[in-house]
Structure 1
């Protein structure tokens, strides 16, 4: 059945059917649905900025005190050059890099992927290819605190707050001397605290930040292990949607992220191999 589905997909590709070429993102869900912060972040990672902004504003009407959502909206609406600085340096993308990992390494938080992508004029943050040249803020302080505007934990509740004001609003959790492994452990603890408060989406987002910094980090107990499985499952489900829409590079990138965390995650191993095979076949058409 899989072979037939791939063959039909190939036929559709070669016939130029716009509904199956994979150049169009998955259709947006109906307005009025129950909004999930994780789903909105996924939407933004696929470059659906207009829909994401609308959904973030709607989400904040329902959750007005949600600081990660406030900070994400700020990333989406602030002038990235004003926030990160006009002076930049170039960086050549290496295998395994993504805007999330670069944001974790150079801005101090993987959640700053959106403002870094916009800083580079990207219309789809999920796509970053090996060998591509990107721009990083010349004054980026490394894996510690950073811009403030982009950090979900910055306390930047005012969408008009400046980068400097937001930086001073940091709650002191992290310091310039904090090592990446220590920061990942702290973020994992924060994710468990959020989970205890019933904020499941925020807990998964926080754990995702931790694992972007240190994919090999061990779970801190059964609750952390269960949350990690839930996070990997959400990544896999998103990758399946991308795969079915023939957005193969994005899907493979997500499966790579899963396998960096858990090399034995069998669904990712199987589907990644299928995606690579399909990508090879499409190149031969």
Structure 2
């Protein structure tokens, strides 16, 4: 599962009403490159840990109070075993699983995808293959991840600060519906990128989530188009597993998304030909 879809997974934990929370403007580097939190999360999702850490530190130098960015840096630099615990159990990856969906299901926060990937020694959180065996923490890690975390708090609560409005016991379907409502609220406020990220988080939890109204339909099409465009770039760079993973995500949401069907088949064919060389 991909980066842009994870951005507001931590934003929603930062306290206050997520529908009205302000998002810092992008940071411009000395070379003129623009850094946004969404772009940095995408970078980390593809396993560019060193560059992502450097960019996060530059971003935080401009926005030192951005708690979601602080939490993401903590996920990137903390010892995963210290944060999630040394005791673990095995899990066989099923179709449709990603580090984001597994973090949502077992850690209570899809935004904790990075620490779960590092817990498993993954160099690329966007790639998780069906049938692969990974490790999950044997116990709830949130209570030990930070001082004062509630026993049932999510990892996201522990990595940021207490005070997020969502209950850790919230059912996945209910959480996905809430996040979709928040995405529409953000859209109404003209925060299109944040709205897409929030909807992406909702769909990472429940790919079959039904859109509510024409605005939700249009926003979903925009999100799928952005996933497809990113997959095309990966495909052209012959990063085929990552591209296929993105197209799988699209098709889990909309099995009739024709560009994803066509290009996924091409990617699989190219991957097969490259193996024969």
Using the size of structure 2 for normalisation, the TM-score is: 0.79
Q: 239, 242, 261: which one pairs with 2:234?
A: 242
Residue 265 (str. 1) matches residue 243 (str. 2):
no
In the TM superposition, residue 191 of structure 1 has moved relative to its aligned partner by: 2.2
> Residue deviations 1:84-136, cap 9 Å, x none?
11111111112222111111111122211101001111111111122221110
Q: 2:211 aligns with which of 219, 235, 240?
A: 219
Q: 1:261 to 1:134 in 2, by over 3 A?
A: same
Answer yes or no: is the 8 Å Cα contact 2:110–2:205 preserved in 1: yes
Q: Which runs of 5+ in 2 are unaligned?
A: 1-28, 143-151
- How far apart are residue 65 of structure 1 and its match? 4.3
Name the structure 2 match of 1:146.
Answer: 154
Counterpart of 2:164 in structure 1 is 171
**CA deviation vs aligned residue, 1:136-160 (integer Å, no higher than 9, x gap):** 0111389x84213676xxxx2xxxx
Larger CA Rg, structure 1 vs 2:
1
TM-superposed CA distance for 1:55, in Å, is 1.6
Distance 2:231 2:199 in 1: 18
Cα deviation, 1:26-52, whole Å, max 9, x if unaligned, reads xxx994312232221111011101111
C-alpha distance in structure 1 between counterparts of 2:114 and 2:77, whole Å? 10
Q: CA RMSD in A?
A: 2.4
Rounded to whole Å, the distance in 2 between the matches of 1:200 and 1:58 is 24
CA distance in 1, matches of 2:62, 2:191: 14
Whether the 8 Å contact between 1:36 and 1:201 is mirrored in structure 2 is no
The one-character-per-residue Cα deviations of 1:234-268 (angstroms, maximum 9, x if unpaired) are 21111111111111111111100001111121111
- Give 1:71 deviation, angstroms: 2.2
| Structure 1 position 61, deviation (Å) | 3.8
